[in-house]
Structure 1
C-alpha cells in the first residue's frame, strides 16, 4: 500500500479513516468476505460507524459484486429448505412403514403434516388471513325480523327511519 493520501473522484483528500488505514486492502477483502462491522472495527481498531460508512461508500464495486455473489450463492430459499425437510421426513416414514414401526410412522406423519402446512403457507396455497362471509340477508328470517324491529322503533322519528331504510336498501343491493 502506498503512503500517498487517497483522493476521491474530485481530487479532494479522502477523510475516511478506513480508507487511510495501513491495511485497507485487508479490511476491504474481509468486509467483502462477510466479516461483520463490529468484528472489523475491533480487528482494525476503527469505530463501527466508520467501518459501516466505508463499506457503504468506499468499498470497490468489484468487491461489492463479489460479496453479493457470495451472499446469493449461499442463500437458500425457505421453500427449498422446507422441500428438503419434506423429502427427509418422507424417507423416514417409508422406512418406518417397511419396518412396521408404528410409533416412528406416526412421528414422521406428524412432521410431514407440519412441513406440508409450512410449504402451503410459503407458496400461498394456504391463506390464513381472516375471511368475511357475505350472506344473502333477504333469505335470513332473523335478519328480516331485526330489520322490521329497527324500522318499527324508528317510526316516531320519520327522518331517521327514512335514512336507515335507505341504508338497509343499499346493503341489500350489494
Structure 2
C-alpha cells in the first residue's frame, strides 16, 4: 500500500472529526493518578502470577533434587518478592514482610525433606500440601 493511497483513503473515507482528532495527536486528558493505580494493580497481578510459576518451578527442582536449579529459582523469587515489596511500599508504608521461603536454608530444608520422603509418597504429598498452603497463605492458622 502506497502513502498516496493512504492519503486518498483519509480524504475520501474518514469523517472530518476523526481527521481532526488524528491531526491533533493523542488525547492528553489522562488522569495520571488513575493510570498509576491501574498500572500498579496490573503490575502486582503479574508479579503474583509469575511468583506462582516460580514456586511451581521450585517444587520441580526440589523433586528432581536439583539444588542448583532450586537456588536459581529462589534467587528469582527473591527478586520478585523484592519488587513486589517495593510496589506495595508505595501503597502501604510501614509494613515489613519477611519471607523465609526464599532463604537458602529453607530451600535446602525443602529439598532434603522431599528426598527423605521419597519412599513415602503419601507423606511427601501431605508435607508438600502443607508447605504450599503456608506459602500461599502465610498468615492462615491451621486448624
Smaller-chain TM-score bracket: 0.3 to 0.5
The structure, 1 or 2, with the larger RCO (C-alpha pairs under 8 Å, 6+ apart) is 2
Larger helix fraction of residues: 2
- Structure number, greater radius of gyration: 1
